[in-house]
Amino acid sequence: MTDQMMTLAAIENLCLQALMAAGASEDNAAAVARSIMLAERDGIRSHGLLYLPIYAEHVRCGKVDGMARPVVSQPRPGAVVVDAATGFAHPAIDAGWVRFIAAARENGVAAMTVFNSYNCGVLGHHAERIAEAGLLGLCTTHAPASIAPPGGRVPVIGTNPFALGVPDGAGGVALVLDQSASVVAKSEILLRAREGRPIEPGWALDAEGLPTVDPAEALKGSMLPAGGHKGFGTGLLVEILAACLSGAVPSKDASPFSGALGGPPKTGQCFIAFDPSAFSGGFSHQVSSLVHAIAAQDGARLPGGRRQAARQRTERDGVSVDSALIERLEALAH
């Protein structure tokens, strides 16, 4: 079947209707629908419409409580804590957002942790949102275990990404860095498995600890950390912040984000925001100088450059979506 062009507004509305039809409240569905739309806008297919059937399935089977109401508390002036109540991460993050940003501006720095949570979509979008508020944002989220320690075979941490959102001092965003502890996001291997395409060498090991290009075997084994033991160390840092500090279920004990088995994963997030003006008067100038030093070099690209290019293209032209996928998603919505 041929592809069809969809506007970003049409994508967001389709996601909203499908999630509500699955049993999510309008507020919860709206937060997730926006996240999927933003992923499609930035060309991040692995977190876009392809994930919508999984979200809908998880609402129907109870892996995610579509009617959850997050509970927000603020035990200290710079600490915001959100219980996602086994619902989607997106509305839980939204529930604590105003307090979190206000606390960072008041104290110079603040952190927000989320527990009893779930997949939070593209982590860089949350970091970008902090930067749009004029703050420096460091975001972490963990996931069900898929990376074994160096020398081991049993996964103990997830792909565990972190994202950094840097404000430009003029109401915009200087750059967004978003990367996982693994060579590639696990969602990319899931995408390859659904499409029947092999993965790239060096992405994963099978259950015996041997290199594989078969996505099905990779999903039974473990992801390879980026940079070997250093990548595992990055994932461990994220695990400490997003799981241990938040009080979430550790990656090694969390149920998978894919499939209907295992009940709610109850994972977590940790976001930290700094007000640059509380620490240095020259922050924006130094960031600008650093960005220029990178961008001025032929062949060099700032982190997030591809996403920005995709964003400009899709905002102008819309998104090309497989007709069969549209039919499947429209069936979910009705």
Q: Hey, which residues are catalytic here?
A: 46-47, 188
Give the separation between CA 270 and CA 162, rounded to whole angstroms: 10
Q: Write phi, then psi, for 172 (nearest 5 degrees).
A: -115, -165
The position carrying tokens 């250093």 is 230
- How many residues appear in the chain? 334
> Residues 160, 235: contact at Cβ < 8 Å?
yes
**Rounded-to-integer distance, Cα 236 and Cα 251, Å:** 10
Please give the full DSSP string across 267-301, using - where no structure is assigned: EEEEEEEE-GGGT-SSHHHHHHHHHHHHHTSTT--
List residues bridging with 109 in a β-sheet: 274
Q: Which amino acid is at 36?
A: I
**Under 8 Å between Cβ of 53 and 324:** no
CA 294 to CA 177: how far, in whole Å?
Answer: 14
Residue carrying the six token digits 């959850």: 68
